[in-house]
Structure 1
């Protein structure tokens, strides 16, 4: 059994400790420090969050009298700290930035508070304006909403219109993966040193397996069946992974086993690749005023095989710790930070290209935003609206998620399997061997869930 290569990450440990921690829910005073008219917010240090931090005192605090104390950390650090803080339910932090991966898990563990009553009492927030897949992915099994998106993304295919035209190639309106592979072959070396496509090869459940799992889905594969049977070495999963590995080996970027989002972004900007399948959020950088490829990029839906769509869904969002004694003030902050007025504020103060988009239909009806983001606004909206987090493939799933399986064990499982797939991209291992090892790991995880359901 591979020497039992099983590591349970911070989130999984936190969930396993939930039974012990649940007795502490509501304890610890919940005051969080800073006085009755303040809240503590723990969040990731992404650029959009830093903009929020800079605008809060002058606008939110001035309007409401509520002071916001921010703790801002890099992504890996903030995930660890949030899992520790929220599993202990000490109430030190009232609000945290969580993704649609954590929120359903935390809702089940009762670490975060339902927001549905606040939503009902605050019609100006306009939950119906939030794109439906976002609301769905931030809801619990009980149907209640547990998070509000700050900004969101899906995935699509980005390509150099001029390069394809130079080879007499037209991108289909709804490309298949085979068509993309054929185009990649045709545009390989269209310019000196230019490869056909960039695809992530860097190990990590949120790196290589973000795009690869969407490919697996549309090829008809899945990590687990509805009754918790592992399918990592199934014919469909294998076919999808072989296709991905062969495509990046034959027509992909240099250094593919180490290439993640940032490396592929740089490759497309610098003219080293003709196409790139990745996050819709990349388009803002491609169309930035100083981008050498501004105006040269076309945007097509995520390629498909057996499904109607295959784009992923991701959102940095806000949730309230269940133990917080300042839930009313916490909601006021969330409704402001995820609201329409905040988007207007960012557009007017910082520029429309910095609006935390990807969450509201009204954003894409705003003439000022559309003028700034016209090249990619509608493709982004369409990609998010087409995403179906509860039904991303051809068969029922045991957990919500498109580019991930929403269980605490997935980050470690996905990362371990990705290391072997990355080795296959590097030519050091066959896909069959990589997925055979992955099947054993996935079956260990599945057995835990089969055992629970059998009780």
Structure 2
């Protein structure tokens, strides 16, 4: 992703739809179908920003001869459908909605369309309108291969700790700007009050490498643990790794939500929004709903850096949801898909979201630099800490000690989707006492060791 947006006047917003339609009609030839309307099928992950895009697109996206059909799916279902579809050259979805974990591998596999030719044929006016250089470089680079873009991030995120200032004040607690996990655990225990329906802290508990695995992997990094050493020997069975597993369980079983394993980020947001939860560690992109005009906790939430432990530097993650084009569709559909991607990732779209929702709750985060220069967005209580976190991340050095992989809340290897998910399933069993820590660690160690052998990483 790259830089951000500028508030526009009412007249500009009136022109927005017309301008968007121009770019929705293609770089040079347009997308008007010779044999009938073109339908662009899109599947998005079920989260607030995706839900908003589906709504705004239905209301405002106008392109001659083009219909856009958007489905919003649970994240795990989306990943399964898109991965299966990419591997089998399925053409159901014109726009593929993935993250940096998949992007580079899929680009190498030929599963994504090279976007450079589409940008190259844009007119000077179109290029000026879109302002490619405004996209946040680190985010765009994470979905590029050898400098060639294979997708454009719709929004990006890092992670931070959200806390209820009222509950902290009531308990006589002060949140530091850079808390440790030990401090977070102590705070959660003090705030937790089941008799009055107060939960000390919530985190994702549903298994899945992109569900509980996201916050949990950053905890692993924070505790100084890692998945492999430089020789690709699995390093799951270590004291540092065990400490991370035990901390995750302690927080959720001693001060967390009921039905731990049913919680995705949607349930966590709902709980935090109720005012009945002390803390929530998750993606920065999930903060806007807490500050929405109809939120019971608007103005009562504080935001600080991701908790650390042995790893003293920033322990947050880097992620984005990126729009890519399916290479298995017709040229006409590809151009229509590209035009929609331009609209959805444009400054005009950011302006539209701020016009429709001044709370910034539906404005894409961390994809354009200019967004953070907008007075309407910069005043959001989570904006400054989000930008600070993004500027201090090192995607290539996720661990305390040298590691043979990159990635902050995942490893950027194809096998991680399976082995990371397996780890979270063993973690879930451990959390609900279906298995012991020793057994969960042993099984996870075996899975990671086998993956290193099967992937020919271990020589």
Scaled by the length of structure 1, the TM-score of the pair is 0.81
Match of 1:415 among 413, 421, 426: 421
For residues 214-257 of structure 1, what are the alpha-carbon distances to aligned partners after superposition, in whole Å with 9 as ceiling and x for unaligned? 01012121223344322222232222212222233333333334
Query: How many angstroms apart in 1 are the aligned matches of 2:117 and 2:403?
Result: 29
Correspondence 1:111-122 to 2 at 5 A: 111-116=111-116, 118-119=118-119, 122=127
Structure 2: any 5+ residue segments left out of the alignment?
A: 1-30
Q: Cα distance 1:366–1:268, how it changes in 2: closer, same or farther (>3 A)?
A: same
CA RMSD in angstroms, aligned pairs only: 2.9
How far apart are the structure 1 equivalents of 2:367 and 2:455? 33
Q: Aligned pair in 2 of structure 1 residues 167, 447: CA closer, same or farther (>3 Å)? A: same
Distance in 2 of aligned mates of 1:201 and 1:423: 11
Do residues 236 (structure 1) and 237 (structure 2) align?
A: no
Whether the aligned pair in 1 keeps the contact of 2:51 and 2:72 (CA below 8 Å) is no
Distance 2:173 2:55 in 1: 46
The number of residue pairs the alignment matches comes to: 417
Which of 215, 218, 231 is equivalent to 2:219? 215
Is 1:404 the counterpart of 2:410? The answer is yes
1:61 matched to 2:62? The reply is: yes
Instruction: Specify the alignment match of 1:368 in structure 2.
Output: 376
Distance between the aligned counterparts of 1:341 and 1:253, measured in 2?
40
Contact 1:163 1:190 in 2 (8 A): no
**Conserved? CA contact 1:39–1:67, under 8 Å:** yes
1:358 is matched with which residue?
Answer: 366
Counterparts in 2 of 1:85-100, with a 5 A limit? Answer: 85-89=85-89, 93-100=93-100
- Of 260, 265, 279 in structure 1, the residue corresponding to residue 264 of structure 2 is 260
Q: Name the CA distance, whole Å, in 1 between partners of 2:80 and 2:255.
A: 37
Cα distance in structure 2, aligned partners of 1:413 and 1:322: 28
After TM superposition, give the deviation of residue 294 of structure 1 in Å: 1.6
Aligned counterparts, 1:151-162, within 5 A: 151-162=155-166
Deviation at 1:139, TM superposition (A): 2.0
Q: Deviations over 1:171-206 (max 9, x none)?
A: 111112222223223333398342422233332222
Mark the runs of 5 or more structure 1 residues left unpaired by the alignment: 1-30
Partner of 1:5: none
Greater shift in the superposed pair: 206-215 or 143-152: 143-152
Q: Give the TM-score normalised by the residue count of structure 2.
A: 0.81
Distance 1:226 1:340 in 2: 43
CA-CA distance at 1:53 after TM superposition: 4.4
Match of 1:347 in 2: 354
Aligned counterparts of 1:123 and 1:87: Cα–Cα separation in 2: 36
Give 1:412 deviation, angstroms: 2.5
Secondary structure of the 1:353 match is coil
The change in CA–CA distance for 1:172 and 1:34 in structure 2 (over 3 A counts) is farther
Deviation at 1:434, TM superposition (A): 0.7
What is the distance in 2 between the residues matched to 1:267 and 1:56? 29
Q: Which residue of 1 aligns with 2:148?
A: 144
